[in-house]
Structure 1
Amino acid sequence: MDRTIVRTVEKNRFASAAAIAATVSAETGAKISESTIRSRIHDAGFHGRSARKKPFLSAVHRRKRMVYATKWKNMDPEDWENVLFSDEASVELNGTTGKISVWRRANEAFNKKCTVPTFKSSRKTLMVWSSISHKGVGTMHFCESSVSGAYYRSMLSDEIPLTRELLQLPTPTRFVQDGAPAHRAKATSAYLKELKLESMGHPPQSPDLNPIENLWGIMKAELHKTPATDLDDLREKLAMIWYKIPVGIVQKLIYSMPARLEAVRKEKGGCTRW
């Protein structure tokens, strides 16, 4: 019976104890309780945990991640110090965590059987843009409309000079941005050259290859402690949290880039722990 229980869990890590009990009872003809199921599952090394959410990766995504991880594999941690990592983040007023439970063993937090794929969403409340380098966080910009190519270029014209001065960046500056349509536009590529920003490219569905994503998580976790009452309050709280992020945290994340790229290569383009 224990083998049947383990096989059932292996087939569906997200099944409830009640569902597993019903399946095992149907297969074996023996009546088994939920408490017994939980006990046997725990004995087999599985425990109920919140499933980690990771972007869905197709075969094409994995190949592009491998190309990127190979292209920049010879950069040392110090080489990443003057890279400017940028990104937009969508922040919801009174957002929720949306946790999902999964059965997994101690070393399976990022096993694809135990993670929940995430997809791009059109749902937005407040869009913010910022950047980071070894010197800390850059300026924060609150997007007042949808981010078209024209809007994005106008924003960069305002924010990049300020950020470059704030973070004491060299000119030209290596620049990381994702593949959003506004970023990929030909006019934007030309404008990056005018701003002396050297795009390093970025594979799709790869937040783990941009350390600013971890800071968005820190920012949202802090916001959750004292939720905003309205959008104006949300802007104020986000800015306050962002500019208080310690430089040491930013540096630790940036210095992790070689390890991130190595993890992508090890997983053959698959998900990593970041």
Structure 2
Amino acid sequence: MITRTVSKNPRTTRGDLVNDLQRAGTKVTKATISNTLRRQGLKSCSARRVPLLKPVHVQARLKFAREHLDDPEEDWENVIWSDETKIELFGKNSTCRVWRRKNAELHPKNTIPTVKHGGGNIMLWGCFSAKGPGRLIRVKERMNGAMYREILSENLLPSARALKMKRGWVFQHDNDPKHTARATKEWLRKKHFKVLEWPSQSPDLNPIENLWRELKTTPASRSPVCTPVSKPATCKPRFS
């Protein structure tokens, strides 16, 4: 019963199971429930956060997958992937593990300080292909459609040339309003850039997300939050 219940509803708590069994005439403890589920290969984990997918998003992603299912590897090597991201000094990017004793979780040596609004951040635009990283640009002001087109104008083609992309290379960006604005689409058309049609709510399909992860965790690992230093450390974000 316990395994069947959590299989149907993974959000069922041990307290819920205790109450259900008690109403059925069986008295058990939460520890017994945990041990029973563990023997079945089930353990309590934090639920992953994923984009909210409506039926229309699911259908679009499925259509995208079917259309590109048989694409040769060479086609994907001819794509320039792009995106914007924010890197915070204090926040989700500042993570580290510590060895500590029981009840010592709040000792200053075992904590990561947090501040409101991340304590400062930078916005970046970047791109890359199978051949390597393209340009990485810091966005110093709030980005709008005009600024986005300016960034593409100054950095997209030079990145393609530096990467020695083959003729007919394809540009990818997501469905952010700045990217899908009529003026941006018209600019891309006039420049004769071929754009990869992209399903909405699909950040996990863009391999640049893995590159952002590396970019964020590397500076965070050098932060004084985890490693005391005698003077301010400097690091230049780079793809590696």
Q: Let me know the Cα RMSD of the aligned residues.
A: 2.7
1:67 to 55, 63, 66: 63
Aligned to 2:108: none
Greater Rg, structure 1 or structure 2? Answer: 2
C-alpha distance 21-219 of structure 1, shift in aligned 2 (>3 A): same
Offset at 1:93?
A: 2.6
Say yes or no: does 1:176 pair with 2:172: yes
> Is 1:215 aligned to 2:211, yes or no?
yes
Identity of aligned residues (%): 32
Q: Does 1:33 align with 2:29?
A: yes
Query: What are the within-5 Å matches in structure 2 for residues 121-270 of structure 1?
Result: 125-227=121-223, 237=235, 239-240=236-237, 242-243=238-239, 245=240
Aligned AA (2:220): H
- Return the TM-score normalized by structure 1: 0.68
* Contact preservation (8 Å) 2:171, 2:194: yes
**How far is 1:86 from its partner?**
0.7
Separation in 1 of the partners of 2:214 and 2:174?
Answer: 20
Report the equivalent of 1:83. 79
Q: How far apart are the structure 1 equivalents of 2:175 and 2:9?
A: 33
1:228 deviates by: 7.2
Which residue type is aligned with residue 150 of structure 2?
S
Which whole-Å CA distance do the structure 1 matches of 2:39 and 2:166 have between them?
56
Contact 1:91/1:126 (<8 A) preserved: yes
Change (3 A) 1:157 1:222: same
More helix by percentage: 1
Distance change (3 Å), C-alpha of 1:44 and 1:209: same
**1:6 equivalent in alignment to 2:21:** no
How far has the Cα of 1:16 moved from its partner? Answer: 4.2
Matches within 5 A, 1:112-123: none
Query: Which of the pair has the greater relative contact order for Cα pairs under 8 Å at 6+ separation?
Result: 1
State the AA in 2 paired with 1:178: D
> Distance between the aligned counterparts of 2:27 and 2:89, measured in 1?
47
Separation in 1 of the partners of 2:35 and 2:210?
36
Give the equivalent residue in structure 2 for 1:103: none
Note the C-alpha offset of 1:76: 0.6
Which stretch of the first structure deviates more once superposed, 123-132 or 209-218? 123-132
